[in-house]
Amino acid sequence: RGADASAEGVAPQVVDALVAGPEDGPGPVLTCFSGSDAEVPAQEMGASGLTPRAEALLAEMTEVHGQLSLGGFEPGGVTDGHGADSTHYRGEAVDVFFRPVTEENRRAGWLLAQWLVAHAERLEVSVVIFDDRIWSTRFALAGWRPYTSADPGNDILQHRDHVHVDVRRGT
């Protein structure tokens, strides 16, 4: 949304590298900037188990990407099943599953993860985790970074089978 991006004057090799990403990397390396949590008001969880900000994100993800396998929230909120102080408990996170872990599902997950980063500012996204990688508005200049859980061999904890997305918390 907004003005179309232009690659005029950019060498074709550079554009190709940005579109494809490194040969041994997780995918495209483009990133996005977004504001801080202090710039938006805090929101309370609604009956859906999500904040209005997370509900809006979910609605747009579904509109753009169609039917998704969702988790990480439920009506009334979730109180367990995630790490201490998880954004899921505040209704600020959604998980989109791509199971089983296959190369085809990995590509589909990266398509969603990169779309979330590309639209982070408008959708008020703060964190995206997928496939052993994390992107956040706080460290946007670093792009996608390695992500390691307490159990690196666990596909769920390493987010190999799902894209995790947090919306901005607000203050």
Domain locations in the chain as residue ranges = 45-167
CB 89 within 8 A of CB 44: no
Residue indicated by tokens 């990480």: 72
Sole residue written with tokens 């990403």: 21
Please tell me the distance from the alpha carbon of residue 51 to that of residue 47, in angstroms, as a whole number: 9
Element (H, E) at 43: none
Q: Say what the pLDDT of residue 1 is.
A: 30
CA of 30: how far to CAs of 2, 18, 65, in Å?
18, 6, 20
Could you list the pLDDT tens digit for every one of the 171 residues in the chain?
Answer: 334 445 567 677 776 666 566 666 655 555 565 666 667 889 999 999 999 999 999 999 999 999 999 999 999 999 888 888 889 999 999 999 999 999 999 999 999 999 999 999 999 999 999 999 999 998 988 899 999 998 999 999 899 999 999 999 888
Fold of domain 45-167: Muramoyl-pentapeptide Carboxypeptidase; domain 2 (3.30.1380)
